[in-house]
Structure 1
Amino acid sequence: MGFVVLVGWAFWPSPVPVDMAVVERGLLQVTVEAEGKTRLRERFEIAAPVDGRLERIPVRVGDPVAAGDVIARMDPLPLASQVQAIQAQIQRLEAEKRGVDTQRPKAASLVQAEANITAVQARHQQALAQQQETQASFEQAQRERQRVEGLFSQGVISRQALEEAELMETSRRQTLFARQQEVEQAQAAIVAAQQGLQVLQAEQRDPDYLLQVYDAQIRSLEAELASLSDSAQRTTITSPGAGQVLRVHQESARFVPAGTVLVEVGDPGQLELEIDVLSSDAVRIQPGDPVRIRQWGGAEVLQGSVRTIEPAAFTKVSALGVEEQRVNIIADLEEPPARLGDGYRIEAEVIIWQNEEALKLPLSALFRCQEAWCVYVAEAGLAQQRQVALGHRSTTLAEVVSGLEPGETVILYPSDQVQPGRRIQPR
């Protein structure tokens, strides 16, 4: 009997050595891990406002500056010369504008022309009166001649009296014709005087277009003068904000075109984080999510929070040569250390979910079984297979929704030797 037991014990499978872990409740965090860099929240790139010769920049990298401090100077002489030239052109145009009035008829000429019209109108009235008087005399002579003709035909008076009456009528007719000529001449004189006045008035208005031309030229030069004056005043370049000099792009004196960046200024104490993540991860991140910063050069872990997610993605080639769509996440540090500067590399963990009382188990305990997740539970020294339902997952842990209870022991990295009912022993 003892021999049989000994033979059975010899052929009984030996326990499989395994690694085990206890399922327990605790803090579980789901994070998105990515690399990023620090950057200044406000960076001022101070550029040359105008074309000109730049004097040697007096500041150096690291120098503290306050808002309004002089950063650079440019030679204002060329601009000052242009300002003086524009001012001279404006003065010349204003003088020419004043000279326009000398081309106008004098006021005395206009008064004289109006007086001439009044005079010829008076002569016209006088000629009309004389014409009417002569017309009456002519008509009287006609009646007298007709009466004398009647008397002559009756033989009452002589032919000489008839001839005298006819002569008187002819004389009065000629005088009437002369008076009519005088009226027409007076009328023509009125028209001529009125036309002369109209010519003077037109000449009075003719230079108006020249005034408009001069005004337009003066306005154009004044606008150019304002621009040049403003540029001349901006040849002394100051810092728009307080901070430190980050970079000096143009140290030596030289001619620079407008827009050339001279100096960069920023406040190193106002740092933010730029973390680029996959676009598929970015959709899971929300403003306010906590951020942990590691591998920044210091031993402590820095804390921060997500401020914003940029709305546009960009393409980036990974180290393996794969094109990826990535999105920048901007985060704020709670207490930026003084040792951390602009453009420093960091590694960040964005916590997108966490639960301090989550039932968690290591991912290394899981394996697939009939399109589900299963684990091996250690029960009385035997491995027992059990199906579990999972919730959130981190890089090393998973949340257990059902299938396990706190305190149960699961087998890590189960090999093919681990089978349901197989004896196991801890390593």
Structure 2
Amino acid sequence: MILLPSLPKRSSKLLIYVGIAIATAIAIVLLLRPTPVGVEVGRVEKGVLQVTVNAEGMTRVRDRYILAAQVNGHLDRITLNEGDTVEAGDVVARIDPLPQTTAVQEALGRLAEWRAQRAGVETQRPKTAALAQARSRIAAAQANQRQVEARVTQTQAALAQAQRDRQRAQYFAATGVISRQAREQAELNERTKQEEHNAALQAAQAARSEVAVAQKALTILQAEQSDPDYLLEVYNARIASVEAELARLQDEAQRTEMRSPVRAQVLRVLQRSAQVVSEGTPLVEIGDPTQLELVVDVLSSDAERVAVGNAVYVTSGTTQLKGQVRRIEPSAFTKTSALGVEEQRVNVISSIDASTVLGDGYRVDVQIVVWEKPDVIQVPLSAMFRCDRAWCVFVVNNGKAQRRKVTVGQRSDTTAEIQQGLTAGELVILHPTEQIEDNRTITING
């Protein structure tokens, strides 16, 4: 048996103290060493990325017709029900035409009255014989005037000759060639011719006056001939007015049956009971529920990104449908959101093939694709965070978190396009917290 030399008591205590110190140091190192942080990770993928504008929409019949009362009257009870099919030309509603019939009879009475009064105006015109007689009188007066004026010419010539004879007789009497009696006879002859000439002048004046009187009489008759024209115009206007009213009333009397313009289904019966209705009252709304379109009101800022032809995806319960943007309305409108905020929104109209699934007025969730690209490197939005005015992610590398800057392109509601910084298949940390730092050891949960 070999006996080891015993250590001094003081040395053994030193070894014990050194061992305790080493164990304490090891424990402190182990306690101060960072513990791995549990994280959730996602994989960088490569595939199709769609950027969408999400909103709520409502279906509506594309071509709908509201049949309204075309005349005032008493509406018969409408027997159609919602969902009934009507053919083009089928009677949808009827209105009692009695008021229109009464109005037509009244208009016919007024028309007959105005026509009778117009015929009476014609009797006020001068007869044709009176006009012919006045023209004959003028012709006779003018003929007489010509004869009298010829007589004036004759008497004037005779007077001139008598004046010359008197002048010769006075000369010869003074020289004693002829007697005094011969001179007096020449002077008497001159006075006689003067009187005859004056009588002819007066007769000519009377003939001219007769012509003027006859012409004035004809003028008066001609004026009387055109005087009734004003009254005729008045009656013509009244007759035309009544005829127009009569045509309108007769047309209204024929429009007391409201007929369907197309083959469709009854969407709503707006006035079912028998009652008095006025012209323009909506009665029945019809349309083809198999021909639907979708109305989506989006924020005006989102509408700027939407274009005609964009694909539209519709979700209604478990049903997934597809459509296409047909039209973007040019005017925005103000709408108050659920939070009480006024927003400017724009209606986007799209086609939708939902004839066997949806109906008129259904509310659905809509996604309008405003950007789409295949083979895009994409990462979940929850993996990105801001760093130095850029975007960064934590990539899992050998059990540690490695911070990496990335260049971001388009973004959807859940993922973002990565133009630089990542490759497909890499793992990134989702929802990074302040505990995660560059090169921090991590453990993947789950």
Matched, 1:377 2:395: yes
What is the CA–CA distance in structure 2 between the aligned matches of 1:135 and 1:379, rounded to whole Å?
151
RMSD in angstroms over aligned alpha carbons? 2.6
Match of 1:411 in 2: 429
Q: Map of 1:100-139 to 2, 5 A cutoff? A: 100-139=121-160
Shift of 1:41: 1.0
Q: Which moved more, 1:236-245 or 1:139-148?
A: 139-148
**SS of alignment partner, residue 432 of structure 2:** coil
What is the CA–CA distance in structure 2 between the aligned matches of 1:149 and 1:364, rounded to whole Å?
155
Q: Map of 1:323-402 to 2, 5 A cutoff? A: 323-333=342-352, 335-402=353-420
Matched, 1:79 2:97: no
What is the CA–CA distance in structure 2 between the aligned matches of 1:378 and 1:149, rounded to whole Å?
167
Matched, 1:248 2:269: yes
From the superposition, tell whether residues 148 and 242 of structure 1 become closer, same or farther in structure 2 (CA, over 3 Å).
Answer: same
Q: Which moved more, 1:399-408 or 1:74-83?
A: 74-83
What is the aligned-residue identity percentage? 50
Match of 1:282 in 2: 303
Matched, 1:319 2:338: yes
| Cα distance per residue 1:338-396 (max 9 Å; x no partner) | 24111111111112122231111112222222222222111111221111111111122
What is the CA–CA distance in structure 2 between the aligned matches of 1:150 and 1:11, rounded to whole Å?
182
What is the CA–CA distance in structure 1 between the aligned matches of 2:346 and 2:186, rounded to whole Å?
127
Match of 1:24 in 2: 45
What is the CA–CA distance in structure 2 between the aligned matches of 1:234 and 1:192, rounded to whole Å?
64
What is the CA–CA distance in structure 1 between the aligned matches of 2:254 and 2:291, rounded to whole Å?
31
- Equivalent residue for 2:320, pick from 301, 312, 322: 301
What is the CA–CA distance in structure 2 between the aligned matches of 1:143 and 1:327, rounded to whole Å?
118
**SS of alignment partner, residue 78 of structure 1:** helix
From the superposition, tell whether residues 271 and 138 of structure 1 become closer, same or farther in structure 2 (CA, over 3 Å).
Answer: same
Shift of 1:60: 1.9
What is the CA–CA distance in structure 1 between the aligned matches of 2:173 and 2:429, rounded to whole Å?
172
From the superposition, tell whether residues 63 and 153 of structure 1 become closer, same or farther in structure 2 (CA, over 3 Å).
Answer: same
What is the CA–CA distance in structure 1 between the aligned matches of 2:305 and 2:170, rounded to whole Å?
136
| Cα distance per residue 1:77-108 (max 9 Å; x no partner) | 22232233223323332333333332121111
From the superposition, tell whether residues 157 and 418 of structure 1 become closer, same or farther in structure 2 (CA, over 3 Å).
Answer: closer
Q: Map of 1:150-161 to 2, 5 A cutoff? A: none
What is the CA–CA distance in structure 1 between the aligned matches of 2:306 and 2:234, rounded to whole Å?
65
Report if the CA contact (8 A) 2:141-2:211 is conserved: yes
Q: Which moved more, 1:88-97 or 1:51-60?
A: 88-97
Shift of 1:50: 2.2
| Cα distance per residue 1:21-51 (max 9 Å; x no partner) | 2212122222211111111111211111222
**SS of alignment partner, residue 75 of structure 1:** coil
**SS of alignment partner, residue 423 of structure 2:** coil
Report if the CA contact (8 A) 2:391-2:406 is conserved: yes
From the superposition, tell whether residues 102 and 6 of structure 1 become closer, same or farther in structure 2 (CA, over 3 Å).
Answer: same
What is the CA–CA distance in structure 1 between the aligned matches of 2:226 and 2:51, rounded to whole Å?
87
What TM-score comes out, normalization by structure 2 length? 0.87
What is the CA–CA distance in structure 2 between the aligned matches of 1:56 and 1:288, rounded to whole Å?
46
What TM-score comes out, normalization by structure 1 length? 0.90
| Cα distance per residue 1:232-290 (max 9 Å; x no partner) | 22222112222111111111221112111111111101111111111221111111111
From the superposition, tell whether residues 159 and 6 of structure 1 become closer, same or farther in structure 2 (CA, over 3 Å).
Answer: closer
Match of 2:215 in 1: 194
**SS of alignment partner, residue 181 of structure 1:** helix
**SS of alignment partner, residue 376 of structure 1:** strand
| Cα distance per residue 1:205-232 (max 9 Å; x no partner) | 2222222222222233333333323222
- Equivalent residue for 1:179, pick from 195, 200, 207: 200
What is the CA–CA distance in structure 1 between the aligned matches of 2:25 and 2:426, rounded to whole Å?
33
Matched, 1:232 2:253: yes
Total equivalences in the alignment? 424
**SS of alignment partner, residue 361 of structure 2:** coil
Shift of 1:140: 4.9
From the superposition, tell whether residues 158 and 30 of structure 1 become closer, same or farther in structure 2 (CA, over 3 Å).
Answer: closer
- Equivalent residue for 2:234, pick from 197, 202, 213: 213
What is the CA–CA distance in structure 2 between the aligned matches of 1:388 and 1:370, rounded to whole Å?
12
